[in-house]
Structures are given as structure tokens and as C-alpha cells.
Amino acid sequence: MPESSSRPENEFFHVLKTQQFDRPLLDGLCELTTAIRKFAKHKEGLLFLRSLLAHKRAMLYFTQPSTRTFLSFNNACQILGIQTSEIRDSSTSSEIKGESLLDSLRTFSSYVDVIVMRTKESGLAESAAKLFDRTHRRVPIINAGSGKDQHPTQALLDIYTLERSFQHRGGIDGKTIGMMGDLKRGRTVRSLGYLMKNYQDVKLVFIAPPAFRMEEDIKGHLRECNIPYVETEDMQSVLPELDAIYITRIQDEHDIAGESSKVDTSQFKLGVKHLSSMKKDAVIMHPLPRRDEIHPDVDDDPRAKYWRQERNGMWMRVAILTKIFKIDHHILHANLLD
């Protein structure tokens, strides 16, 4: 299938941080994700999807632990026919011989058409993208989690989950969204925070112990964009007003001296006893993995959307890959739908 040359501009090449997404792009990605889900419901649709990028190869460079982001990218690639190679431990790459990561990435780019990368360092995906932008072999980079700072594809799947959950209530516009847990080092909530400027009349409620409050860069951005937010340590008092609560894990892998264990996080957990205080059509989300921030018994409540959120991730990543390779119009305009 020929790649499109009819569209004047690709809307994005790399996926590095959520600041690069505007509302039309977000709405377009959501529409595309829904179309892909419909195709995937039947064999013909799945075979069609698998034919779209069977001529492409991807590198999954995940040197920081990952289960769902790795698997969902791997499966998203398989859905589109993309073949994958992977590195999951830098001790098995030439970095151990002293090669710089940027040199290693440049090496990967010799073999593949897209690099998906998760690293414990912040900003590496951006450095890699800058490097590739100067070379003859410019390969798209997808940031699948960069240290404490960003996890843009997670935020995109979170937007899709919110939009889908609120589809009969006017979408995300006008909603009050709580974010709870380790907001300081949780890259998912940080990335999602940057996207909120794209929605009208949204209010944010940050629920965290003082040690894990949302950082000033995100709060400053929200103030500049006139997105109102409040900060509280009292989950119970704000639960009744929330349309969604997005709960995160304490990110103690970033601890230098075990400081997380000294913080009392007992008031930042959702149990069955809290559910009666919440709106009947509220949405409970979590990027997963969870520890004890959400009691497993909450899973049975219809407002718990985190397992659906996880599966949405695979479909959103299919959508992202089709945009990068400019074949999304084949999906939107195909006659196979319905």
C-alpha cells in the first residue's frame, strides 16, 4: 500500500512530551483509536490492520522495568504487522563496553524504522530525537517513559479513557478531575497535567502529602493556561465533587535515601468504604501497576476503569504508530467499518 503523499504535513514525527499535542490532534487520535477498535473486532479488520505496516521494523529499547507499556507497544506493533527487536537491559547492549546511549540509539536506527524507548533518565528521548534530526537517517522516537518527567503515550491513552468514559456527558470539557498519590515524581500525572489546557472549564484537584505535591513547572503551566487547580491532603472532603480520580503509586524507585518510607501515605488510598461518597458516574483510573492505593475489591465497581484503561493503551499506541507512518487515513476512510 503506498504511503500517503496527499497530506501536506505530518502532525507529529516524534512523540516526546505532551506539550506537543493540541486539541485537534487529541480528538483525531481518539477518533482513530475508536476506528481501530472497531476493525479489531473481526478477522477481516485485523488482517487489514496487519497489512498496513508489514514493511516496517521497530526497536523497543526498554532499560527501565515495564510490563504493560512494553507489552502494549509490542502488541500494537504486531497488530500493524511491524516486526520488533528489543533490548530490555542495558547490560546486554554495548553500553556495557562504554558506548554512549546516543551512539547505541544511532546504531538501532541503522536497522529499524521507529524506536520506542523507556529510560530511567529524564530527557533522553528528546536528546535522541535532536540527534536524529541532524542525521541522514531520521528515525521517529517514541518516549515510553523518561525518568520522572514524562510518559506521553500513557497520557494519550488516559485522555482516550476519560473521553470514552464521559462520551454521553460531553467528554472531558467541564469535568473536575482529581489526581492523587505521588504527583511529584509520577510522570503519568505530570504528562496528563500538561494536556489539560486543551479542555474547556476543567478543574483539577491535586491530592497528595506535602512531600509528593505536584511540581511547580506543571502548576505554573496550569496558571498560565488559566486552568484552576486546588491542592489538598484530604481525599474524603473532595471525593463527592470529582468526576474522575486518577490514582498513582508512590514512585520510590527514584528515592535516594529511602525518604518515601518516612512519608505517611495511609490517607491516599481508595477502598470500598469510599465509593459511596463518589458520584454515581465518576471514573476511577490508575496507570498501573498498583500496590495498595486501590483495594482490589474496588475492581468490581463499574466506576473502576483501570483495566479498560490498560487495554485502551494498546489501541491508542496502534493509533500513534499509524499517525507516525502517515497511514491513519487508510483506517479512517476504509470501507471495512461496521
By the rule CB under 6 A, 18 interacts with ligand NCD: no
Identity of the amino acid at 44: E
Q: Which of 18, 33, 63, 69 binds ligand NCD (CB under 6 A)?
A: 69
Catalytic residue among 14, 17, 37, 151: 151
Verify binding: residue 146, ligand NCD, rule CB under 6 A: no
Residue 116, interface with ligand NCD (CB under 6 A)?
Answer: no
Catalytic annotation on 151?
Answer: yes
> According to CB under 6 A, which one of 56, 187, 305, 317 is a site residue for ligand NCD?
187
Who's near 226: CB < 8 A, 6+ residues apart?
none
Burial class (CB in 10 A: 0-12, 13-18, 19+), 254: middle
Contact 271, 284 (CB under 8 A): no
DSSP-assigned beta bridge partners for residue 180? 207, 247
Q: Which residue has the cell 554512549?
A: 100
Choosing from 37, 56, 118, 323, the catalytic residue is 118
Residue closer to ligand NCD by CB (options 74, 188) is 188
Give yes or no for residue 150 binding ligand NCD (CB under 6 A): no
Residue 331 CB, nearest distance to ligand NCD (Å)?
25
Number of residues that bind ligand NCD (CB under 6 A): 12
Query: Does 68 sit near ligand NCD (CB under 6 A)?
Result: yes
Q: Note whether 152 binds ligand NCD by CB under 6 A.
A: no
97 is catalytic: yes
Task: Clarify whether 138 is annotated catalytic.
Answer: no
Q: Which amino acid is at 220?
A: G
Distance separating alpha carbons of residues 114 and 318, to the nearest angstrom: 13
Q: Which residue has the cell 471525593?
A: 239
Q: Which amino acid is at 43?
A: K
Pick the stretch among 18-26, 209-217, 287-295, 322-330 that binds ligand NCD (CB under 6 A): 287-295
Active site residue 68: yes
188 binds ligand NCD (CB under 6 A): yes
Stretch that binds ligand NCD, among 5-13, 85-93, 231-239, 282-290 (CB under 6 A): 282-290
Which three cell numbers mark 56? 516496517
Q: Is residue 311 at the binding interface for ligand NCD, with CB under 6 A as the rule?
A: no
Neighbours of 135 (CB within 10 A): 10
d(CA 297, CA 127): 43
Residue 249 makes contact with ligand NCD by CB under 6 A? yes
Q: Does 147 bind ligand NCD (CB under 6 A)?
A: no
CA distance readout (Å), 166 to 29, 159, 284, 322: 16, 10, 12, 25
Is residue 88 within the footprint of ligand NCD (CB under 6 A)?
no
Min separation Cβ 162 and ligand NCD, Å: 15
What is the rounded CA–CA span in Å between residue 158 and residue 308?
Answer: 10
Residues across the chain = 338
Q: Which residue's CB is nearer to ligand NCD, number 56 or number 187?
A: 187
| Residue 109 near residue 82 (C-beta atoms within 8 A) | no
Among 119, 109, 5, residue whose Cα is nearest residue 62:
119
- Does residue 265 bind ligand NCD (CB under 6 A)? no
- The footprint of ligand NCD (CB under 6 A) covers 68-69, 145, 151, 154, 187-188, 248-249, 287-289
Catalytic residues: 68-69, 97, 118, 151
